[in-house]
Amino acid sequence: MWSLQQKYNWRYGIPTPYQLKDETQPKLTMRTIHHDSIDFYTLTCTRRNPETSKVPLKGKFIIVHGYSEHSLMYLRLMEFLLSLGYESLIFDQRGSGRTSLFQDRGVTGKNSELVLNDVSHMMEDFFGFNDDPNSKNSNITYNLIGHSMGGGIALTYLHKGKYKDLIDRAIVSCPLLRPHKSLEPHSFLYNILIFFAYYFPQTRYFGDIPKHYKEMQTLTSSPEWQQYLYNELLCRDGGTYGQISQMMQRGKALLDEEMNYNPNLKLLVLQSNSDLIVSEEAVESFFNRLNLKNKSFIK
């Protein structure tokens, strides 16, 4: 790992290109939360001085990041949410970021249900949820955000997560339900992936070294962020067969199953019309068949 890092000039812990606009308002807290024998790296953005805050507290968000991402990439979103009156928590998922460094990168556990338990544990910590149905404070809203892989996780959680009926609003951007047609494997290769994932879940597929810097240009138009994604070790593609298989099967279930969502849920789905990672058609098809009164789709 270290020889690869030196060869490709990778770094661990590079400052992100984003700088807070107003350092007097956000209180950023980095800490680890121990759960299921794992120390999860978390970042919270809360009001520094609630009594003198410019806006009242309206609610809280838990953010679920995408594949090969980590918490510090979401500072812009967290500061924006706080300016609207929403505090937030994001955690580096098992297999990602500072939660799972080096040999643990891409190791997500025996099944995709574990990540739902991880989200529930973060809700217990940040939202204060517990087995008492009255643990929810009715004065604020409790919300969920997920991007790409995290969007698939969020949509799955709203279907069968422990506290799914306590979530008021959810926002998902480019949720990974099915890969773009240029990335989607043939059914034969998909079955091979499932086979390898079952017997060799912690084995990495050959995606650890980027083919070309131009790959970063398909992810963001910002030169600063392109450079960051290319050089930051926490953003390197180092997925295991188990992790990739779980993402694929999670998306397939969302497309095939009838969703058991809370009818009072307010759902916003954001989808780029030039997405080269996620199938736009799959996202739109999923949205159209949702039986929700309060749903919006922006493309």
Q: Which 3 state secondary structure label does DSSP give 103?
A: helix
Q: What is the pLDDT of residue 11?
A: 75
Q: What is the pLDDT of residue 215?
A: 79
Predicted model pTM: 0.94
Choose among 208, 230, 232: nearest CA to 220: 230
CA distance 210 to 223: 17
88 or 1: whose pLDDT is higher? 88
Residues 6+ apart with CB under 8 A from 230: 210, 213, 216
Q: What is the pLDDT of residue 233?
A: 87
Q: What is the number of other CB atoms lying within 10 angstroms of the CB of residue 42?
A: 21
Q: Which 3 state secondary structure label does DSSP give 165?
A: helix
Q: What is the pLDDT of residue 218?
A: 83
Quick check: 99 and 39 in contact, CB under 8 A? yes
The pLDDT of 25-53, averaged and rounded, is 94
For residue 89, the cross-strand partners are 44, 62
The pLDDT of 148-168, averaged and rounded, is 97
Q: What is the pLDDT of residue 54?
A: 81
Paired sense of beta strands 169-173 and 86-91, if any: unpaired
Q: What is the pLDDT of residue 9?
A: 61
Q: What is the pLDDT of residue 180?
A: 92
Is pLDDT of 3 > 80? no
What pLDDT, in 10s, does the model give residues 179-218?
998 887 778 777 888 887 888 888 887 555 555 677 788 8
Count up the domains in the chain and report the number: 1
Taking each helix axis as running N to C, give the angle between helix 241-256 and helix 280-288, from 0 to 180 degrees, rounded to the nearest 10.
40
pLDDT band at 102 (very low <50, low <70, confident <90, very high): confident
Q: What is the pLDDT of residue 190?
A: 79
Q: What is the pLDDT of residue 193?
A: 82
CA distance 49 to 24: 9
What residues make up the domain containing 30? Answer: 2-298
Q: What is the mean pLDDT of the chain?
A: 91
Q: What is the pLDDT of residue 2?
A: 43
CA distance 281 to 288: 11
The pLDDT of 115-135, averaged and rounded, is 95
The pLDDT of 91-110, averaged and rounded, is 93
Q: What is the pLDDT of residue 8?
A: 55
Quick check: 1 and 102 in contact, CB under 8 A? yes
Q: The dihedral of CA 130, 106, 182, 66: what is its sign?
A: positive
Q: The dihedral of CA 120, 121, 126, 131: what is its sign?
A: positive
Choose among 138, 180, 190: nearest CA to 277: 180
The pLDDT of 116-130, averaged and rounded, is 98
Choose among 66, 45, 47, 43: nearest CA to 56: 47
CATH number reported for the structural domain that contains residue 274 in this entry: 3.40.50.1820
pLDDT above 70: percentage of residues in the chain: 94
